[in-house]
Structure 1
Amino acid sequence: MADAKMKKVSFNRFRAKVFNMVSTGVIDEPLNRFYDVLSIVALILNLFAAFAITFDYMEEHYKGLLLVIEGVTTFFFAIDYLLRVFTAKELYPKLSESRSIFKYVLSFTGIIDLLSFLPYYLPVFFPAGSAVFRMFRVARILRLFRINSYYDQLNVITEVLASKKQQLLASVFIILILMMASSLCMYSVEHDAQPNVFQNAFSGVWWSVSTLLTVGYGDIYPVTVAGKILGILISFLGVGMVAIPTGIISAGFVEQYQKLKTVGDYAEEENIHFIRIKLTDKDSWTKKKIIDLQLPKDIMIVAVQRDKDTIIPRGQTVLESGDVVVMCAEKTKEIQPIDLKEITINDGHSWNGVAIKDLDISRQSYIFMIRRKGKAIIPRGNLTIKAGDVILLYEKHSIRDFA
């Protein structure tokens, strides 16, 4: 029984190490950094080979080399996919083994990873569909989005789209309505003059798309006076409709960057520290008004996150269980600086299964709290650290180091 448990622990640690290796942006060990570089190089070489082989000169002189590059890099994508399936449990730790694999395989990232290599091998079994399978290889380009893990500013794009999702959906809905209405109107005035072009209500959809989106291909156009007047009006509407989602996204970018700049400048120039506290039913602040909390004068509650909503606190705001309270306080320069750290222990961490007294940490480092399954535990020497624990550690430095 003990041997089986030890094997399971060793297996979980091995899987956690593999998960850290394949997770883009986790560069705490040389192997993880090497794997990230290898992944990026393989993707760049694969895309280069796919583009280069379309040129006659490159195909004539370097076709063999380009095919080898594509084959090797695609095989690497297949191995990468299998490793991610193997470590899906680490990605979704709250799910069972089978459900975590199922969730990853059906996720957007999992589908992209699958399409990165599967179409390359499918023509071996289905030769007739090689042309269609080749088209799906374009999905490899989407793997470039993993670079977001290195550049936080790229995440602003997804944050803007998520925050403006309702407005964008509303503008797209309006465009679809105008598209169908303009198609129906143009059919009504142009069907008799061009029965072969505007055959039914949906035959004008192509014309309405090219007009409303200001593309203007010119292959389908009105010939009657009423149709031309209607086309002019719809063209003006198209300019305004296309400008709506563009303006929404532009305003979102401005708001996001202004927010980041304001928070960054405020925290740096005014020496402000922000902390978050999640309330539970047992906390004394729950069901109390902010004005009744009797906070110190240097501490202020700046936001309350409740579910997916962010509440700007007022004195009469009542705090509820589950609220995430964001507080700020001015940094005090007179006291000795202390660095606080939060370490999450996974199955592969070297501290997993080790008693606190046996940890090799600096004499200037102290563990002052351990959170286990939502509960705070006072650290004692004989306490054994387990996977899932959150270690709160602080390091005391000499004032001379900050002079």
Structure 2
Amino acid sequence: MEKKERLRAIVEGSVFTGIIQFLILASAVVFVIESDRQQLEVDPYATHFIVLDVVFLVLFSIEYALRVYIEPKKRDFVFSFYGLIDLVAILPSLFLVPGFRVLRILRFLRIFRIFKATRFILAVDRLGAALREIQQELLALVILSLMFVYLAACGIHFFEREVQPEAFGSILDSMWWSVVTLTTIGYGDVYPTTSGGRLFTALVALVGVGLIAIPSGLLASALTEARVEREQIEADEAENEK
């Protein structure tokens, strides 16, 4: 048990964490470089890339094995979010072994290695806590947004269906314009030409600004509360240690 605790201290220590973060970034960089080589129609299975894949495979496999070993509830860890991310970071490299290249389409899954970095970012934990805090409000906002998308599509269809049947001939066709306008993206590929349609578009755009601003405000407030709560916990822990 003492040996496992010492190993846990090493795995969760700053040095080991720094090494894993470096490997994550290196893996992501290699992924980007290799994709560029593919674009240039150069053999993506050049020897140095195979060597790097094997190195990453071995090191990430060792890390995964260590984390499973030090966890008291191994099954819970294996099927947890981070446990699955660790596993996904390993599996694609197995398909790069000669003889398994038929499965090379799965190579893109290596990009999931970058998500392993979230294990070490405290801000991500606060973000997760903030999202859980406002999940009911976000769900209500999603439902409200879908309602507005539907109503906006119905409205623009009413105003524009006669003059632009190719773009607004049905409510379903009008959905694209509705989503683009409510999200304030405004591609400009389809737009109203009638006076009523333009006035209606202005109203929809104003509603869209509000829909975009609401979740931003909710998330900012929840993040502030999560930060204050975390700082209070740290202050209490520091006080108890004295």
TM-score by length of 2: 0.76
Aligned length: 235
Equivalent position to 1:130, from 104, 109, 115: 104
Which protein is richer in helix relative to its size?
2
2:63 paired residue among 67, 72, 80: 80
CA gap 1:234/1:143 in 2 versus in 1, 3 angstroms: same
| Identity in percent | 25
**Residues 261-305 of structure 1, C-alpha deviations (whole Å, 9 max, x = no match):** 67878x7xxxx957xxxxxxxxxxxxxxxxxxxxxxxxxxxxxxx
> Aligned match of 2:23 in 42, 47, 60?
42
* Structure 2 counterpart of 1:52: 33
Is the Cα–Cα contact under 8 Å of residues 19 and 84 in structure 1 kept in the other structure? no
8 Å contact 1:212–1:234 — kept in the other structure? yes
Other-structure match for 1:114: 87
Q: Larger Rg: 1 or 2?
A: 1
Picking from 201, 204, 216, the partner of 1:234 is: 204
- 1:126 Cα deviation (Å)? 6.9
Q: How far apart, in 2, do the equivalents of 1:255 and 1:34 lie?
A: 31
Offset, 1:64: 4.3
Describe the superposition over 1:92-141 as per-residue Cα deviations: whole angstroms up to 9, x where unpaired.
Answer: 3xxxxxxx52x4343322222222122333465472x634x233322111
Following TM superposition, by how much is the alpha carbon of 1:255 offset from its aligned partner in structure 2, in angstroms? Answer: 3.5
Residue matched to 1:206? 176
Aligned-pair CA distance for 1:34:
5.1
Local SS of the residue matching 1:196 = helix
Shift in Å at residue 195 of structure 1? 3.2
Contact 2:153/2:171 (CA < 8 Å) preserved in 1? yes
Q: 1:36 to 1:223 in 2, by over 3 A?
A: same
Deviates more, 1:74-83 or 1:237-246: 74-83
* Bigger shift: residues 39-48 or 182-191: 182-191
Residue 156 of structure 2 aligns with which residue? 186
Unaligned residue ranges in structure 2 (runs of 5+): none
* Structure with a larger share of its residues in strand: 1
Shift in alpha-carbon separation, 1:202–1:125, aligned structure 2, 3 A: farther
Shift of 1:72: 1.3
Q: Distance in 2 between matches of 1:126 and 1:231?
A: 52
- Per-residue deviation at 1:67? 4.3
Shift of 1:251: 2.0
Task: Give the drift of 1:234.
Answer: 0.8
Q: Give the equivalent residue in structure 1 for 2:116.
A: 143
- Residue number in structure 2 paired with 1:367: none
- Structure 1 unpaired stretches of 5+: 1-12, 28-32, 93-99, 275-338, 341-403
Quick one: which amino acid aligns to residue 130 of structure 1? R
Q: 1:191 to 1:138 in 2, by over 3 A?
A: farther
- Higher relative CO (CA 8 A, sep ≥ 6), structure 1 or 2? 2
How many angstroms does 1:19 deviate by? 6.8
Distance 1:155 1:198 in 2: 44
Contact 1:21 1:35 in 2 (8 A): no
Counterpart residue number, 1:173? 143
Distance 2:162 2:132 in 1: 46
Given candidates 202, 220, 223, the residue that maps to 1:250 is 220
Report the residue type matching 1:167 in the other structure: E
RMSD: 3.7
Secondary structure of the structure 2 residue equivalent to 1:215 = coil
